[in-house]
Amino acid sequence: MRIFLAGASGAIGRRLTPLLLAAGHTVSGTTRSAGKAEELHARGVEAVVVDVFDAAALRDAVVRARPEVVIHQLTDLPQVFDRARLAAALVGNARLRIEGTANLVAAAIAGGARRLIAQSIAFAYVAGPEPHRESDPLASAAGESPDAISVRGVRALENAVVNARGMVGIVLRYGWLYGPGTWNTPSARAPLHIDAAAHAALLAVTRGAPGIYNIAEDDGAVTIEKARKELGFDPGFRLAS
């Protein structure tokens, strides 16, 4: 199938690309950097240099690619953890989830995509009994705290994806990512190795009904029963190299 991968040069995108290509898919992948475009070409990806906030350019890129599936793995977070910059980074990431996702959904519709897969987070639930199911409410988005700003972004992204007109919208609520290219260790609640995150997106290309799926390790923080059953998700998946 023809895949349009938004965020192909990001932490998950770099792990997802070889999985998609090995499965026989044709991949167009976005980056904002001409230098990273060369890396994508070298890996067998049709690189697209575009800014997701440029709605017209993004629409044109998706229409040219004619994808059957669009995958949203975009984030706007620094590659190296810096606590002093984190609050500002979360604001930028929320803007990407709100405005960038809206632009990508519109582009996917214009390009005739049949399926839209997007990453969200599995650690935005309101405090309460665990494990959290996908139907549990999210935390409050009121106020200007970093958590509230993040939740507003999450709500906007998820609503845009699951309500995308004319296509199957799938939201993958990822746990705390660890592994190559991430900040974290597997000590957090609801951890998720980045390879398992990438593999879940590959599975969602051909499996799963529209809706939201918790994607994490089975440590009791969130239930992953739905993802196991409908997607065939395995939190133990790792790339061979």
pLDDT tens column, 100-141: 999 999 999 999 999 999 999 999 999 999 999 999 999 999
pLDDT classification of 84: cutoffs 50, 70, 90: low
Residue 236 pLDDT level (bands cut at 50, 70, 90): very high
202-224 pLDDT, tens digit per residue, is 999 999 999 999 999 999 999 99
pLDDT at 46: 97
240 confidence band (pLDDT: 50, 70, 90): confident
Average pLDDT over residues 83-108: 86
Give the pLDDT score at 184: 77
Q: 194, 177 in Cβ contact below 8 A?
A: yes
Element (H, E) at 157: helix 146-162
Mean pLDDT of 82-86: 58
pLDDT of residue 87: 64
Neighbours of 81 (CB within 10 A): 12
Residues 238/195, Cβ–Cβ less than 8 Å: yes
Residue type at position 43? R
Model confidence at 9: pLDDT above 70: yes
- Predicted TM-score (pTM) of the model is 0.95
Query: Where do the structural domains in the chain lie, given as residue ranges?
Result: 2-231
The mean of the pLDDT values for the chain is 93
DSSP 171-196: EEEE-EEESTT-SB-TTSSSEEEHHH
pLDDT for residue 132 = 98
- Residue 186: CB partners within 8 Å, gap ≥ 6? 178, 193, 217
Q: How confident is the model at residue 85 (pLDDT cuts 50, 70, 90)?
A: low
Checking if the pLDDT of 241 tops 80, the result is no
| Torsion sign (Cα): 15, 70, 58, 193 | negative
Per-residue pLDDT tens for 151-188? Answer: 999 999 999 999 999 999 999 999 999 999 887 778 78
Does the structure show a pLDDT above 90 at 78? no
Whether residue 233 is predicted with pLDDT greater than 90 in this model: the reply is yes
Angle of CA points 124, 229, 22, to nearest 5°: 90
How sure is the predictor about 47, in pLDDT bands with cuts at 50, 70 and 90? very high
For domain 2-231, which CATH number applies: 3.30.70.260, 3.50.50.60, 3.30.565.10, 3.40.50.720?
3.40.50.720
What angle, rounded to 10 degrees, do the helices at 101-110 and 55-65 form? 40
